[in-house]
């Protein structure tokens, strides 16, 4: 591996109160960005995320052009534990490839990836932010606790049982049938409207196509229905290294359905890439049963000190009334 991605760390975490598990009242989709969030969809929740994109590719050095479409379909299923999620990702591309010597159609299942994600740390668990009823400034000042992210780990396997014409390696380099992928995920919240998701991955481990990849996705909620995002994705491998930027918006159709649109462009011209598309996310929640996270009531000493404080407060109150 010629280069390694810098480890992107970790900005602000939300101070909003969350007293239940990872299931949310409204659907929480990874779309329209390409990053994977730290939290799962919730135990027994089934969710699909799909998209259709126009793809344009123009290589200045090799002097070829390719135009077509790419379809994406992801399945997310919360199983066994509230923190665990099983994930299947599929990506199919069909385009027309044209150069001075070749004019052909290309089509293949570009990505088939099965994996699982587990939330290892949730900063919201056993934590409740109590407002200060006497100070607006105290409620809105910066809190160092906001630097703590939610953290998840992911492990998966790439499957490739047909010829893939969309990789950038020489024709004599064969892509392996099976290759693993691991990823570290961090999710940070800026108050109640901003969310930053960071993915750092080692993909196709042990193969000629191995790469260190990262994705940074910053999402902003405008109101209860609309949100927008900007994203930077990077690939660092022996045969392909690039940086891509995307932006788009999502609309919450109802609590279980979301539609989205996005565009993307890379920074290279070998090849130059442009994508634009729409997407749809849907979840099935009929089997979900609400799971309340038990709060830590503290040690015996904590309880003793709390009781002592309550008694002293009562004495001061009685003294004032007299």
Average pLDDT per consecutive 10 residues, the chain (322 residues; last block may be shorter): 38 33 82 96 95 95 93 96 95 94 92 97 76 64 75 96 82 87 94 91 94 97 95 92 96 96 94 96 85 51 59 59 57
- Give the pLDDT confidence score for residue 75 in this predicted structure: 98
- Give the pLDDT confidence score for residue 81 in this predicted structure: 87
Place of tokens 């630097």: 147
58, 78, 251 from 61: Cα distances, Å: 9, 46, 40
User: Distance of alpha carbon 188 from its chain centroid, rounded?
Assistant: 11
The chain-wide mean pLDDT, for the chain, equals 84
- First-to-last C-alpha distance (Å) of the chain: 77
Whether pTM > 0.85 for this model: the answer is no
- Give the pLDDT confidence score for residue 195 in this predicted structure: 93
Place of tokens 């479409």: 69
State pLDDT tens for residues 216-272.
Answer: 999 999 999 999 999 999 999 988 899 999 999 999 999 999 999 999 999 998 899
Q: How far is it, in rounded angstroms, from Cα 230 to Cα 219? A: 7
Tokens of 107: 């089509």
Length of the chain: 322
- Give the pLDDT confidence score for residue 6 in this predicted structure: 38
Tokens of 176: 């392996």
**Burial class of residue 322, CB neighbours in 10 A (0-12, 13-18, 19+):** exposed
Q: Spell out the residues 6+ positions from residue 100 whose beta carbon is closer than 8 angstroms to its own.
A: 63
Would you call 316 helix, strand, or coil by DSSP? helix
CA-based nearest residue to 189, from 129, 131, 254, 133: 129
Helix (H) or strand (E) holding 241: strand 241-254
- Give the pLDDT confidence score for residue 21 in this predicted structure: 53
């Amino acid at each position: 591996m010629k280069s390694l991605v810098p480890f992107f760390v970790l900005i602000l975490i939300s101070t909003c109160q969350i007293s239940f598990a990872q299931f949310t009242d409204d659907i929480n989709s990874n779309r329209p960005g390409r990053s994977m969030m730290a939290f799962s969809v919730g135990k027994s929740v089934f969710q699909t995320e799909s998209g259709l994109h126009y793809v344009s590719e123009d290589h200045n050095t090799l002097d070829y052009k390719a135009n077509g479409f790419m379809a994406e379909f992801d399945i997310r299923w919360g199983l066994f534990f509230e923190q665990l999620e099983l994930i299947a990702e599929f990506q199919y591309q069909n385009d027309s490839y044209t150069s001075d010597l070749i004019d052909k159609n290309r089509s293949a299942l570009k990505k088939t990836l099965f994996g699982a994600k587990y939330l290892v740390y949730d900063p919201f668990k056993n934590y409740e932010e109590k407002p200060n009823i006497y100070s607006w400034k105290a409620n809105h000042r910066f809190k160092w606790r906001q630097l703590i992210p939610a953290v998840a780990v992911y492990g998966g396997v790439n499957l490739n049982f047909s010829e893939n014409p969309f990789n950038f390696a020489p024709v004599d380099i064969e892509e392996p049938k099976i290759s693993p992928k691991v990823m570290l995920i961090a999710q940070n919240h800026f108050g109640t409207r901003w969310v930053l998701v960071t993915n750092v991955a080692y993909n196709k481990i042990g193969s000629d196509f191995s790469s260190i990849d990262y994705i940074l996705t910053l999402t902003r909620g405008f109101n209860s229905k609309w949100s927008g995002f900007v994203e930077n994705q990077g690939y660092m491998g022996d045969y392909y290294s690039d940086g891509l930027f995307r932006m788009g918006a999502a609309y919450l159709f109802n609590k279980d359905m979301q539609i989205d649109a996005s565009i993307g462009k890379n920074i290279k011209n070998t090849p130059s890439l442009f994508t634009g598309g729409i997407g749809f996310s849907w979840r099935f929640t009929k089997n979900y049963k609400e799971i309340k996270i038990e709060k830590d009531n503290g040690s015996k000493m904590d309880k003793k000190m709390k009781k002592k404080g309550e008694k002293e407060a009562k004495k001061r109150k009685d003294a004032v009334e007299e």
